[in-house]
């Protein structure tokens, strides 16, 4: 389970399992990576719920 984050400067992929962590990124500053991580952690339950609706079973 993962989530992609995009900004005008680049993008990142964060794994949700076994814990939220950065998988890869391109073009983002360290501050943008950390802010995206904070947002993914803050909304982790909502992201997981959306994932399970999109990929049932």
Non-local CB neighbours of 34 within 8 Å, separated by 6+ positions: none
The pLDDT of residue 21: 97
Prediction pTM value: 0.91
Is the pLDDT reported for residue 22 higher than 90?
A: yes
CB 9 within 8 A of CB 27: yes
The pLDDT of residue 28: 97
Residue ranges of the alpha helices (H) in 1-57? 30-42, 44-54
Is the pLDDT reported for residue 39 higher than 90?
A: yes
**Arithmetic mean of pLDDT, 27-46:** 97
**Arithmetic mean of pLDDT, 25-51:** 97
What is the DSSP code (8-state) at residue 53?
A: H
């Amino acid at each position: 389970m993962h989530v992609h984050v995009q900004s005008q400067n680049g993008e990142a992929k964060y794994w949700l399992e076994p814990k939220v962590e950065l998988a890869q990124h391109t073009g983002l500053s360290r501050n943008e990576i950390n802010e995206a991580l904070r947002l993914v952690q803050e909304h982790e339950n909502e992201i997981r719920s959306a994932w399970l609706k999109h990929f049932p079973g």
